[in-house]
Structure 1
Amino acid sequence: MGERVSVGSGIAQAAHAVVRRAARELLGAGTYDALADGLGYGELNTLLGR
């Protein structure tokens, strides 16, 4: 049998933290470098299509 991996709400919390960082940066410095390492649509679609 495979092992179960549980991250609880950790992924959602990490996503919310990225949103907060990006919003603070955009409102403060007027930039959005916090989003530079985001997934492209092609890669995201491939991951979700599995």
Structure 2
Amino acid sequence: MDMEWIHLVGDIGFPMAITFFLLHRMERKLDDLIHSIKDIKFHTTDD
């Protein structure tokens, strides 16, 4: 039973870790993009 869990975590754990890392990076980039869009909107409506 223990070997099954070790094998399962070894097979699935790495892809899950990579997925979490990439989603976290993408979320941060999307937040930056939203901030930039709001900043552009503020500057264009300020005229």
TM-score (norm 1): 0.46
Give the greater-gyration-radius structure (CA). 2
* TM-score normalised according to structure 2 size: 0.49
Higher helix share: 2
Q: Which has the higher contact order (CA 8 A, sep 6+)?
A: 1
